[in-house]
Amino acid sequence: MPELPEVEVTRLGVSPHVKGLKITNAIVHDGRLRWPVPKNLKKILLGQMVHDVRRRGKYLLFVLDDGHLLIHLGMTGVLRVIDVAEPPKPHDRVEILFGDVALRLNDPRKFGAVLWVPFSDGEIENHPLLAKLGVEPLSKEFSETRAPQVLYSHARGKTVAVKQWLLSGSAVVGVGNIYCSESLFEAGIHPQMQAGRLTLPKAKRLADAIRAVLRKAIRKGGSSLRDFVNAQGEPGHFMMHTHVYDRAGLPCHVCGSTIKQIVQGQRSTYLDRKSTRLNSSHRCISYAVFCLKK
């Protein structure tokens, strides 16, 4: 599933091609997505200008004259900038045209979304799909000074494993399974530790790791596990740089121990074979393996 880095990479790739342009057409090839695409989408969008392309969590927000066009890539969606003459492909769902340029959403599994939210509905931040999202990890609200307290305060009293807590997106948004794995590894926090045991020092390490991992993933173009490509059709390369994720059976980059895969909440977790116990005394105690930094 495209996570925050992949959506941000898409935003960065799309924005220069559409910002400041007026929509000349909208074509709905198949509107049966997670929520039905508005049947009158063409009528709604025709002639409106794109003033900005924003992101909230994994949602793209196209700011138009009269409202927001909200797009979610779902599990397998790709939003590409193409020439309008390029023939439609299987699983193409929606096209937004800007003269000779088109944005085309291809979504094989139909879990994506293309929704219209008029300004008359109120602030977009209060939309039901956005209102309960956590803090943006690359925002001022999650800065080096604020982020530790954000995580520490939200984790108080939580008995769920820290991995599941992070994945929920209720404290900080966009830390999907890959980036959760890498962040916990970098912070030296065991994925099975209760979230409520997150101390302020651990919260600081985790916040620093989250920002660093996400920024690195964006620089590398995101992660292309299966279908993801950017707006120009190019795959991301972050998976070539992971320390722990998807490395079962391989040696730890830090201590050389073999990485073992377990399952938490139907998601893969990777631990060192010597560190499968939560309170292991072995120095590698986190996702895949973590070696305490001296």
Mean confidence (pLDDT) of the chain: 85
Cβ burial of 116 (10 Å; 0-12, 13-18, 19+) is middle
Binned at pLDDT 50, 70 and 90, residue 269 comes out as low
pLDDT level of residue 276 (50, 70, 90 thresholds)? very low
Tokens of 246: 């998807």
Phi, psi dihedral angles at 147 (to 5 degrees): -60, -45
Q: What is the pTM of this model?
A: 0.84
Among candidates 40, 21, 3, which has minimal Cα distance to 102?
A: 21
pLDDT digits (tens, 9 = 90+) for 35-88: 999 999 999 999 999 999 999 999 999 999 999 999 999 988 999 999 999 998
Q: What value does the mean pLDDT take over residues 158-184?
A: 92
| 219: confidence class by pLDDT, cuts 50, 70, 90 | confident
Buried b (16+ CB within 10 A) or exposed e, 9-39: bbbebbbebbeeeebbebbbeeeebbeebbe
Please give the structure tokens belonging to residue 92: 């193409």
Interior CA angle at 105 toward 99 and 108, to 5°? 150
pLDDT at 235 over 60: no
In the structure, what pLDDT confidence band is assigned to residue 231 with cuts at 50, 70 and 90?
low
Give the whole-angstrom CA distance, residue 210 versus residue 166. Answer: 10
Helices 200-219 and 4-18, axial angle in degrees (round to 10)? 40
> How confident is the model at residue 294, as a pLDDT?
27
Decide if pLDDT at 111 tops 50. Answer: yes
Indicate which residues carry an active-site annotation. Answer: 2-3, 58, 267
